[in-house]
Amino acid sequence: MVLGVPPSGPRSMRGGGSKPRRLSAAAALLLCLQGGVALAQDGAREAHERRHAPHHGGYPVKASHLAKFPAFVTWPDTAFETSSSPFRLCIGGVDPFGPLIDRLAQNARVGDHEMMVTRLSSVAKGADCHVLFVSASRGQTPREMIAAVAGRPVLTVADDGLDAAGAMIQFVTLEGRVRFEIRGDAAQAEGLVISSKLLSLSVTRGTGER
């Protein structure tokens, strides 16, 4: 009778040894599921960004113009808190430039002010910007971005292909070339003075003529 009773020791060892294996399998499954969800979310986010990003090119040229525009614009003294406050170049919405705009702004100055790039997924009322580049956005229309900085000395520059009425400068692509249209009256209304040299490079929408 005693020989017919299974030993308790091995059973205990087998039972104790199987639990870690089950826990490890469950943990591995959970990690796989979490990884799959993260990849799916990343893929969906990237696809969404591509759908909402501007479809036209010329961004190296646009970035170069954007970094150079401030040299031809005069801001009122009230636009800066102190004489050493940074000059803020803001990108509103999807950033089509990437690190290129950072390289162009590096070591650049507007008067005594060091240029700093700030990326804004949405533009809040009274955003602290000196230049606002208006790009495509999931949460705001171009007009809403421009309205957010209305009443402040902010040079608004809109990407082409956008309904950006009120922008002071808007890029246009004519015969494969990146050009821009300037609305000097809109800039003047906010206390900005655009030099005649820059104004002379402006094109008239629909004609491509200066």
Q: Could you read off the pLDDT of 92-121 as tens digits, one per residue? A: 999 999 999 999 999 899 999 999 999 999
At 25 the pLDDT is 53
The sign of the dihedral angle between the CA atoms of 54, 59, 63, 69 is negative
> Which 3 state secondary structure label does DSSP give 23?
helix
Q: Are 173 and 160 in contact (CB under 8 A)?
A: yes
Q: What are the boundaries of each domain within the chain?
A: 1-52, 59-199
Tokens of 210: 């200066």
Rounded to 5 degrees, φ, ψ at 198 are: -70, -40
Compute the average pLDDT of residues 126-148: 95
Tokens of 93: 């919405």
Tokens of 147: 């309205």
**Residue at 160: amino acid letter:** D
Of the pLDDT bands very low, low, confident and very high (cuts 50, 70, 90), residue 6 is very low
> Which 3 state secondary structure label does DSSP give 73?
strand
Q: Are 137 and 52 in contact (CB under 8 A)?
A: yes
Half-sphere exposure of residue 73, counting CA atoms within 13 Å on the CB side?
A: 29
| Selection from 186, 177, 208, 185 nearest residue 132 by Cα | 186
| Residues 10-41 pLDDT 10s | 443 344 444 444 445 554 444 434 544 443 45
Q: Report in angstroms the alpha-carbon separations of 7 from 1, 12, 15.
A: 13, 9, 13
At 190 the pLDDT is 97
- The CATH class that applies to domain 59-199 reads alpha beta
